Amino acid sequence: MSFRLGLTGSIGMGKSTTAQMFADADCTVWDADAAVHRLYSQGGAAVKPMAEVFPDAIENGAVSRVTLKNIISTDPGALKRIESIVHPLVAADRAKFIEQASSDILVFDIPLLFETGGEKAMDAVAVVYVSDDVQQARVMARGTMTLDQFLAIKSKQMPASEKRARADFVIETDTLEHARTQVHHIVEQIKKRVSHA
């Protein structure tokens, strides 16, 4: 039985980079965003049900995230309908991953882990973290959103302090080297725990 580690953290905290560090440490990583990407792409399981509810969101046989964002911004009820389609499909994708994975430690990279109650399915949770200033600087440096958009996303996420308080492990991602050291330490701790179980 594999150990299930949830990996989460707010936007710009370094979660994707940290997930790669776990992969480099021989953990098998499931990425929630990548799962949604698969479901939305041509031939993906979400295309047909989305087309029935939001036909305008389908472009070239795939779901357009840009169009969905516009629909959500103008239709207050749209997000709930989208989630009711996508969440069960993401859960099925995750179940298939668990069935096929064989490594001792499975890492689940899920941005809204606590917000969706996903931590209940995990053996432990690791939260990535940096200071508010560094977080904002990182997101702004990407050049993909305005400050207002960043603040709007941040306001929908659980405060970083609360995530840290609820986590089993906190990974400070101030430098790559520091983050990597912490990841290796967590992997060692989990392997000890698994071998004593």
Weakest mean pLDDT among 47-56, 84-93, 125-134, 147-156:
147-156
Q: What confidence tens digit (pLDDT) does each residue in 149-158 have?
A: 898 888 888 8
Distance CA 166, CA 187 (A): 19
Q: What confidence tens digit (pLDDT) does each residue in 121-146 have?
A: 999 999 999 999 999 999 999 988 89
pLDDT value for 82: 94
Weakest mean pLDDT among 17-31, 79-93, 144-158:
144-158
Beta strands in the chain (DSSP E): 3-8, 28-31, 58-59, 62-63, 105-109, 124-129, 169-172
Distance CA 124, CA 39 (A): 27
Number of residues assigned to the chain: 197
Quick one: average pLDDT of 62-85?
Answer: 91
Q: In the Cβ-directed half-sphere of 37, how many Cα atoms lie within 13 Å?
A: 5
Alpha helices, DSSP H, located in 118-170:
132-142, 147-156, 160-166
Burial of residue 86 (CB within 10 Å: 0-12, 13-18, 19+) is buried
Full-model pTM: 0.89
